[in-house]
Amino acid sequence: MSEHEHERLSAYLDGELPPQEMSAVAAHVAACPECAARLAEFAAVDEAAAALAATAPSGYFEALPGRMRTRLEPRRSARRLPAWTWAAAAALLLAVVTPLTLSKRSSLQMEPAPAREQPAAAPPPTLEAPAQRQSAPAAAPAVAAPPAKLQKVAPPPAAPAPSRPAANTTPSSDERSKGEQGFATAPADADREAQPAEPAAEGRRDAPVGALRLPAPGALSRVEPQTARSRDAAAAQEESADKGARKAAAPAPEPKAADALTDAQAQVALSGKVDEQRVAESLAVGANVETDAAADQEWRRLLAVRPQTVAEWRRLREELRRFADGAPAGPHADAARLRTIEVGYTAWRSGGDAADEAVFRRDAAAYLERGEDAKNKARVRGLLR
């Protein structure tokens, strides 16, 4: 047999030949003792090579985790704040600062603003005017900022209202009052327009360094169940056996199944809750106005997603998780955590996948372990039943 043939034997051993060649080699090996012996040799070499001990000086593995820990630099993920957040923040900042500067200048000068800046149609100065001006140039992200917050940074009403660019005729008192009611009423399509192409989903598709690809299905079907490595894995699992998941599996008192909460109900309930939160937030200090506006927008986008398939439910679950993790103390974090669990529940119930169930139970357990910031423990317990 030629060297080329022997090379094929080696690849045959790995199940890495095209199907026809696989069967051809199998037939040949069955009829050729020489090749059968060679194949057996290769297999024995592999087995022996895999079994060779790889050893380290004693104490090495006891010390390494601690040594590694000291080398870990703090990692605050850049992905938690996607690029458009900064764009939105910058737009809002501009919108806030510009009128302030303008109004200061005009009050200093004590003279009418130049005519080109004063369209005849401009309404008389009102309390609302500054806020409207701020919203308009920044488009949707800035509009999303609660009016109450904007008023905190708006110029005092006593200052003469600076002129408004002619283009800014959009904000009406209608919209203004809509804004005051909260943002659940904001048109969903407006959110969609302003929202850039899913930053989170894009991140997910980034292949990790050295990411694994699944082997070809053919190869999979030919291999036998794992031995040595699954032992390792089992041992590894044992080492950390008492981590969260056990708690998740704790039986809940009242078994009550899938009908606990439909997704639609969850969404309605959640958006109601969001409004309450928003009122409270609006009264809070406006330090994070920019970030909040972007976060609000992203949150509303997430609430508007309507998955059709299990995969989409999973994707939404992970997007929500990232959103919550991105600002763990943020205004929507608790709602997002709850929603992660609910969406995870739906992913599990609609796909019946044990892995989804595990994720759901883990998320639920982690939520129940949280402190006072977890305001929906009852609902999570309901889902667990």
- Please answer whether residues 342 and 330 qualify as being in contact, where contact means their C-beta atoms are separated by less than 8 angstroms: no
d(CA 275, CA 146): 11
CA dihedral 191, 281, 290, 134 (to 10 degrees): 80
- φ, ψ for residue 199, nearest 5 deg: -65, -40
From 111, 187, 213, 280, residue interacting with another protein (rule: CB under 8 A):
213
Rounded Cα distance, 12 and 128, in Å: 77
Whose tokens are 């704040």? That residue is 81
Q: Which residues contact 48 (CB under 8 A, 6 or more apart)?
A: none
Is 222 among the residues that bind another protein (CB under 8 A)? Answer: yes
**31 vs 212 by CB, closer to another protein:** 212
How far apart are CB 364 and another protein at their closest, in Å? 12
Which residues from 246-265 bind another protein, rule CB under 8 A?
Answer: 248
- List 281, 290, 296, 318, residue binding another protein (CB under 8 A): 318
Minimal distance, residue 44 CB to another protein, in Å: 5
For the bound state, the minimum distance from the C-beta of residue 190 to another protein, rounded and expressed in Å, comes to: 30
Radius of gyration in angstroms for the set of CA atoms belonging to the chain, rounded to a whole number = 31
Alpha carbon distance 330, 281 (integer Å): 10
Please name the helix (run of DSSP H) or strand (run of DSSP E) that holds residue 35, with its range, or none. helix 33-51
Residues 337-366 that bind another protein (CB under 8 A): 355, 358-359, 361-362, 366
Please work out, in degrees rounded to the nearest 5, the angle formed at the alpha carbon of residue 269 by the alpha carbons of 368 and 276. 90
| Residue 42 in the binding site for another protein (CB under 8 A) | yes
Q: CB nearer to another protein: give 166 or 220.
A: 220
Cβ closer to another protein: 54 or 378? Answer: 54
Calpha distance 88→143 (Å, rounded)? 10
CB of 323 to another protein, least distance (A): 13
Q: Is 31 in the site for another protein (CB under 8 A)?
A: no
Q: What is the pattern of x (binds another protein, CB under 8 A) and - over residues 56-85? A: xxxxxx--xxxxxx-xxxxxxxxx------
Q: Site mask, another protein, residues 366-385, x = CB under 8 A? A: x-------------------
Q: Which 1-30 positions form the footprint of another protein (CB under 8 A)?
A: 6-7, 10-16
